Structure 1
Amino acid sequence: MKADNLIEMANQIGSFFDSLPDREEALTGIAEHIRKFWEPRMRRTLLAALDAPASNGDAQQAGFTEIVFAALTQHRDSLTPAAAA
């Protein structure tokens, strides 16, 4: 799956959780949803897009909404799939 499609899907998830009044709950909700329902290959591609030189640490430049960028950055360890054996 292309990174652009995954970023768009992540941003849609972020739009839902952005309506929560508790920001930490929203960030955790985004990360948990992606961890539970996305296969490891999808998560690897999404995290690679986060690390792409074009993003340069800038959420908008990479195509991520601010809340999704924050959720991925804050919960990166739990989103990173285990290495294949």
Structure 2
Amino acid sequence: MDINLMNNTKTSNLYISPTLIWCLLMPLIHLLSLISNIFCIIIFCSKTFIHKPIAIYFICLLISDSTTLLIGYSEMVERELFIN
């Protein structure tokens, strides 16, 4: 079977436009992850966890992950401008 024919038949049913992915789906995933990180930071900063050394480690990891998510979100906004 020709590789182009096989690719066209399989992907035509599952095709999602790049605009939908970069402008809606990916920013939504980043936003939900960022909100989740903020909630986790609030929980780890509570009186129950803050006295444990592992809580400080997790807070640092969550802050680092949140920074990465914000950078990724800004890059997606730039890609959205180039797509449109």
Q: TM-score, normalization: structure 2?
A: 0.29
Q: Larger Cα Rg: Structure 1 or Structure 2? A: 2
The structure that is helix-richer by fraction is: 2
